[in-house]
Amino acid sequence: MKVLVIGGGAREHALCRSLSQDPAVTELHCAPGNAGIAQVATVHPVDQLDGAQVAALARRLDAGLVVVGPEAPLVAGVADAVRAAGVPVFGPSARAARLEGSKAFAKDVMAAAGVPTARSYVCTTVEEAAEALDAFGAPYVVKDDGLAAGKGVVVTSDREAALAHAASCERVVIEEYLDGPEVSLFAITDGTTVVPLQPAQDFKRALDGDEGPNTGGMGAYSPLPWAPEGLVEEVLETVLQPTVDELRRRGTEFSGLLYAGLALTSRGTRVIEFNARFGDPETQVVLARLRTPLAAVLHASATGTLDQLEPLRWDEGAAVTVVVASEGYPAAPRTGDPIEGLAEAEAADGTAYVLHAGTRAGEDGEVLSAGGRVLSVTATGADLAEARTRAYDALGRIGLKGGQHRTDIALKAAGR
Ligand code: AMP
């Protein structure tokens, strides 16, 4: 099978790495890719938001499967364009991707499907927002209704700040605060059958101890030794399957990856958000543990044959990924700096490796930083403590001027 992956972050590098290790994959392409992806796939300079360009590339390459990584191309209808060109595609239609693209749409689907989530109001004026804030009380949760790459959400006890964020958005969802630990659970679906993956936890705040601003994600780990037994089955039954069924009932069948961001609150499991694609950086640790070759799984989603798939096989061990971000991330990331020590960081036995996010090749073949999140240093081990040690050892060999990372990824979970 020839496979084309769309995107250019560490999530896509993780997807490409797994696909490149799958014997069923005869050719691997990625557009636009990055400096790391270029080591395992042929990269193509294509505008990933342009469905016609992506579909034309897929046809030209004679791809048997296109995998769309990020949310923006999905919301822009890239999967629709590829599907219309007759190429199997992993990723939902633009209409179904509104589950991520519009918080209000997601709330409506959840209400209809009886999926447990935070109570919420959709507000378009400052007056409405003020009323909603006062109805719930502090801490306040204010979400931009549109796509914001995980950065459109403000959680604060400062009423003025909450109101200011609401005023800066056209339409906001204001909701009750959910206490309790967060879990990311991914599922592969073809619109009918739902196959959950292993749960992971990510770290959204920029600084140790969950301080600082929200980011796209600074690290992740899997499995979650502290998670209640039966969590995956419960979420499949109460969240994932009803949501997929409700979307199909509405004529907006959802195929691809359904990502449930969950809070395990004192009153039970609640959905914080849905995403319509693999999460970054959780994908890096979930795929590190997946033993089933990836291409057939994604292809079964794209062709509506997930019910025929063998049960997924998983590594019993653990995986940890730590994001290296550039100086100034997330507000004003500095780019163009050389990255040293990439080869030295990789373990010969494959237990530690570096996934590239915002990188590009310089003129002399050196690797330069080219984005806010630059690398995802990933490691596996018998348990979280071992995976964690390996990830931080590898990270310690990498040099990036002004580079920043959290030092507490998986720390608590590894100690429990
Ligand atoms: P989202 O983009 O909806 O995932 O929100 C980003 C982050 O904000 C989440 O991972 C949570 O840490 C936090 N958050 C979102 N909604 C809530 C909520 N209702 N209660 C508490 N924290 C929330």
Quick one: which of 383, 373, 325, 323 has its CA closest to 351?
Answer: 383
Q: Ligand 1, from 142, 156, 272, 280: best to mutate by most atoms within 8 Å of Cβ?
A: 272
Residue 31 backbone dihedrals phi, psi, to 5 degrees: -135, 125
Q: How far is the CA of 211 from the centre of ligand 1 (A)?
A: 14
Q: Which long-range contacts (CB under 8 A, 24 or more apart) does 29-32 make?
A: 29/2, 29/3, 29/4, 29/5, 29/57, 29/61, 29/63, 30/4, 30/5, 30/6, 31/4, 31/5, 31/6, 31/57, 32/7, 32/8
Overall pTM > 0.85: yes
Determine contact, residues 385/409, Cβ cutoff 8 Å.
no
pLDDT at 113: 98
Q: Ligand 1, from 121, 143, 153: best to mutate by most atoms within 8 Å of Cβ?
A: 153
Determine contact, residues 21/14, Cβ cutoff 8 Å.
no
- For 376, the token pair is 């995802």
Determine contact, residues 201/184, Cβ cutoff 8 Å.
yes
Quick one: which of 356, 342, 273 has its CA closest to 41?
Answer: 356
* Spans in the chain with pLDDT lower than 50: none
pLDDT at 150: 52
pLDDT at 104: 87
Residue of minimum CA distance from atom 16 in ligand 1 = 272
Residue range 127-169, pLDDT digits in tens: 999 999 999 999 999 998 876 655 588 899 999 999 999 999 8
Atom of ligand 1 nearest to the CA of 177: 20
Burial (CB count within 10 angstroms: exposed 0-12, middle 13-18, buried 19+), residue 323? buried
CB-side exposure of 205: number of CA atoms within 13 Å? 12
